[in-house]
Amino acid sequence: MRKYKGSSKLMLQPRSTQEVSQILDYCNSRCLAVVPQGGNTGLVGGSIPVHDEVIINIGSMNNILSFDKVSGILVCEAGCILENLISFLDNEGYIMPLDLGAKGSCQIGGNVSTNAGGLRLLRYGSLHGSVLGLEVVLANGTVLDMLGTLRKDNTGYDLKHLFIGSEGSLGIVTKVSILTPPKLSSVNLAFLACEDYLSCQKILLEAKRKLGEILSAFEFLDINAMDLVLKHIDGLRDPLPSSKHNFYVLIETTGSMESHDKEKLEAFLVQAIESELLTDGVVAQDINQASSFWRIREGVPEALLKEGATYKYDLSLPPEKMYDLVEEMRGRLGTTSNVVAYGHLGDGNLHLNISTQQYDDSILAKIEPFVYEWTSKQRGSISAEHGIGLMKASKIHYSKSAETVQVMAAIKKVLDPNGILNPYKVLPTSVLSQSGRHQPNKD
């Protein structure tokens, strides 16, 4: 994002859990801060060494350890690149339960540590559901073997959940056991246009009702996002070239019977056109066309990067309120910047992006704290899927009560008493020092 610049003299690339354990034991005994790093594709500065933290890069731990063809349970090391896991499973007739634009470089350990959401959470749920087990190394080098492969296990506290989404602040994930769904033979993708946001919401409701169990993704982008993608991403064409539309929606279905799925999708589309919820639309005719439709949606972050600087917000909001924020933001910013909206509408997750030529404090002052206050008033989340990282550590109170943050700080103190793991991230420094723990000295 050209927003964070890391600073470190040392990066270590362990090849085994044992090496991670030895590194952490050494660093902990000397109060040396470390920053765990996966594919370095995060958007909130969570993998950035802020002062001179030692980088522990997990990328060399990239072996697939086992795959059970009957249960679909995959066990692998944390440094496996998501796309490599997707390809491996494809050959086995399975898919990963998560898919995101950064799949070519992000790693499963980073996905787990940030509780990455992505394009298919609507269908397969969050990693809190599909991760069955983890191996984690604690700050003092202790290896926690929680690498279960059981669907059901109610023996005591399910500690793995503490490490899913805690962004390497409680321990370093070294191995992952994950439940993968079977690959189904019939996948369809429709690229649709709506004239107003209310129609997008109604289409979502209809899609849930009429497509039911075959609905696997429901994404949206507004005209500003579409224009940017077509401007910056080479080789893409507007799938609906006859006119411009205010909103675009991608609906994917995944099922096991081609004729049944097509019939359902067609009936849904015909009804949506007749009731004037849709103004135009096209269903991908082959896999190449489907990938070019996905490329439009997945290309928005890259297009924003090419356009200039971006203030990026990743919000969970009630879907009926979501676009009000975009319009209010446009009103506040006038012509100084381009307010771009896209995201996982099916999950109530808005990616609000404010694109400018360069980062500028006067623009930032119009965006923050307004965006956080607005989200908090709706009891929304200031981080739906990107994490808190460095960007929002001091903002966590907009989404979590003071008491809840205190409990988080107390857990951090138990697991990482010297505060060596990913300092300055996730929790505000003020809360950590109150709980009797200091950020390690930057020297």
Of 233, 238, 189, 248, nearest in space to 214 by CA: 189
From the CB of 82, what's the least distance to ligand MLT, in Å?
13
**Sign of the torsion formed by the C-alpha atoms of 72, 73, 77 and 79:** positive
Q: Give the x/- contact pattern for ligand MLT in 319-358, rule: CB under 6 A.
A: --------------------------------x-------
Q: Can you tell me the distance from the alpha carbon of 131 to that of 113, in angstroms, rounded to the nearest whole number?
A: 11
From the CB of 304, what's the least distance to ligand MLT, in Å?
7
Which is nearer to ligand MLT, 162 or 354 (by Cβ)? 354
User: Of 36, 301, 387, 428, which lies in the binding site for ligand MLT, with binding defined by CB under 6 A?
Assistant: 301
From the CB of 360, what's the least distance to ligand MLT, in Å?
20
Which is nearer to ligand MLT, 261 or 314 (by Cβ)? 314
Residues of this chain, 62-101, that bind ligand MLT according to CB under 6 A: 101
Which is nearer to ligand MLT, 264 or 351 (by Cβ)? 351
From the CB of 419, what's the least distance to ligand MLT, in Å?
29
From the CB of 290, what's the least distance to ligand MLT, in Å?
17
CA diameter of the chain: 69
**Sign of the torsion formed by the C-alpha atoms of 85, 90, 94 and 95:** positive
From the CB of 324, what's the least distance to ligand MLT, in Å?
20
Which is nearer to ligand MLT, 101 or 141 (by Cβ)? 101
> Which residues have a Cβ under 8 Å from the Cβ of 410 and sit 6 or more positions away?
435
From the CB of 252, what's the least distance to ligand MLT, in Å?
14
CB of 20 closer than 8 Å to CB of 14: yes
Beta strands 34-37; 11-12: pairing state: unpaired
Residues of this chain, 281-300, that bind ligand MLT according to CB under 6 A: 300
Q: Is 308 in the site for ligand MLT (CB under 6 A)?
A: no
Q: Give the x/- contact pattern for ligand MLT in 155-194, rule: CB under 6 A.
A: ----------------------------------------
CB of 353 closer than 8 Å to CB of 221: no
> Which residues have a Cβ under 8 Å from the Cβ of 338 and sit 6 or more positions away?
224, 228, 307, 354, 355, 356
Instruction: Give the phi and the psi of residue 148 in degrees, each rounded to 5.
Output: -70, 160
Count CB-CB contacts under 10 A for residue 195: 15
DSSP 182: B
Q: Which helix (H) or strand (E) holds 178?
A: strand 172-179
Which is nearer to ligand MLT, 74 or 217 (by Cβ)? 217
From the CB of 316, what's the least distance to ligand MLT, in Å?
12
From the CB of 351, what's the least distance to ligand MLT, in Å?
4
Which is nearer to ligand MLT, 178 or 300 (by Cβ)? 300
Q: Give the x/- contact pattern for ligand MLT in 188-207, rule: CB under 6 A.
A: --------------------
From the CB of 53, what's the least distance to ligand MLT, in Å?
25
Which is nearer to ligand MLT, 74 or 249 (by Cβ)? 249
> Can you state the percent helix, strand and coil of the chain, rounding each to 5?
40, 20, 40
Which is nearer to ligand MLT, 24 or 48 (by Cβ)? 48
Which residue lies nearest ligand MLT, judged by its C-beta?
Answer: 301
Which is nearer to ligand MLT, 27 or 300 (by Cβ)? 300
- What pairs with residue 314 in β-bridges? 351, 383
Tokens 């610049």 locate to: 5
**Sign of the torsion formed by the C-alpha atoms of 240, 242, 244 and 247:** negative
Q: Can you tell me the distance from the alpha carbon of 112 to that of 100, in angstroms, rounded to the nearest whole number?
A: 13
CB of 148 closer than 8 Å to CB of 133: yes
From the CB of 42, what's the least distance to ligand MLT, in Å?
10
Q: Can you tell me the distance from the alpha carbon of 304 to that of 311, in angstroms, rounded to the nearest whole number?
A: 10
User: Six-digit token pair at 50?
Assistant: 């802020």
Q: How many chain residues are in contact with ligand MLT, going by CB under 6 A?
A: 5
Q: Can you tell me the distance from the alpha carbon of 201 to that of 260, in angstroms, rounded to the nearest whole number?
A: 25
Which is nearer to ligand MLT, 112 or 265 (by Cβ)? 112
Cα Rg, the chain, nearest whole Å: 22
Which is nearer to ligand MLT, 101 or 148 (by Cβ)? 101
Q: Which residues sit at the interface with ligand MLT, rule CB under 6 A?
A: 101, 300-301, 314, 351
